[in-house]
Amino acid sequence: MPGNIFFKSEPGLIIEVNNADSITHGLSLMDSNEVVNAIFSVFNGVYKMSQSIEGLVETSSSLARVILKEGSFVTQSLQRSSVESSKQDISKTVGASFLNIGANVEHSGSYPGWAPNTDSEILDVMVSLYKKMFNSDPKVQACHAGLECGILNERYPGLDMISFGPTIKNPHSPDEKVHIASVQKFWSLLIEVLKVNTTTSNVVNHMLQCVNAIGRVKIDELKALLTDGKKE
């Protein structure tokens, strides 16, 4: 514990301070104060909770990187929200802290929001089929994360969607793992869901194209499974 005030949250933290032999680039005292004050003032954390689902974060911002190099100052942050207008709001809020010190602010790599739909028809279909196939209740949850459904919703506004898949542990890390047995389980569920919706050919074709696009199976092969060799 000696000298480490973060001994619980960061037990292995080590901070070293060394004298610099020569300095060719640097910030003035005034610029340094402005940068530090901007970092202190920038919003970081949960910005807004969901109004429709208790306990779900709707909008947040994370100050991910602060870079001081060769006399320049750069920060990188990530704003997320299931509501697009709220994401724009928090992005402007974060940007304002740096605009006030004369910095240039750029917004890029935006991930479209996707608001949970508790009245989703496809959700009801999948819950019912899951119970029938596996004799247990599925875990239906909304999560505060970037999902491909946001991108699809941007292209097909109003499309009823659901995100589901096999069990994954430690996502987006070197230790990411997928539970292999659960892959077959959810593939079987997908096939049954598509069979239920074969009467709505436009929806099925969209789903088939999405499945094909991610390289899971060829469209003709999946159509054969759904129609059992019969014409649509």
Q: What is the pLDDT of residue 210?
A: 53
The interaxial angle of helices 201-213 and 219-227, nearest 10 deg, is: 140
121-227 fold: Aminopeptidase (3.40.630)
223 versus 153: the higher-pLDDT residue is 153
Q: What is the pLDDT of residues 194-207, one digit of tens each?
A: 877 544 445 555 55
Q: What is the pLDDT of residue 223?
A: 54
CA dihedral (164, 170, 174, 177) in degrees, to 10, reads -60
Q: Where are the domains of the chain?
A: 29-99, 121-227
Of the pLDDT bands very low, low, confident and very high (cuts 50, 70, 90), residue 43 is very high
Q: What is the pLDDT of residue 209?
A: 52
Closest CA to 179 of 190, 192, 165: 165
From 54-63, 66-75, 93-102, 148-157, the region with the lowest mean pLDDT: 148-157
Q: What is the mean pLDDT of residues 8-17?
A: 82
Closest CA to 25 of 67, 75, 65: 67
42 versus 162: the higher-pLDDT residue is 42
From 25-29, 85-89, 111-115, 211-215, the region with the lowest mean pLDDT: 211-215
Helices (H) and strands (E) counted in the chain, each on its own, are 7, 5
Position 109, amino acid: G
152 φ/ψ angles, rounded to the nearest 5 degrees: -65, -40
Is-above-0.75 flag for pTM? no
Query: Does residue 176 contact residue 168 with C-beta atoms inside 8 Å?
Result: yes
From 93-97, 196-200, 214-218, the region with the lowest mean pLDDT: 214-218
Query: Does residue 138 contact residue 130 with C-beta atoms inside 8 Å?
Result: yes
Q: What is the pLDDT of residues 77-90, one digit of tens each?
A: 999 888 888 989 99
* Residue-wise DSSP of 87-113: HHHHHHHHHHHHHTTT------S----
Q: What is the pLDDT of residues 98-145, one digit of tens each?
A: 999 999 999 887 777 777 787 888 888 889 999 999 999 988 888 777
Q: From CA 17, how far away is CA 1, in angstroms rounded?
A: 19
Q: How far is CA 120 from the centre of its chain?
A: 20
Q: What is the pLDDT of residue 205?
A: 54
Q: What is the pLDDT of residue 206?
A: 53
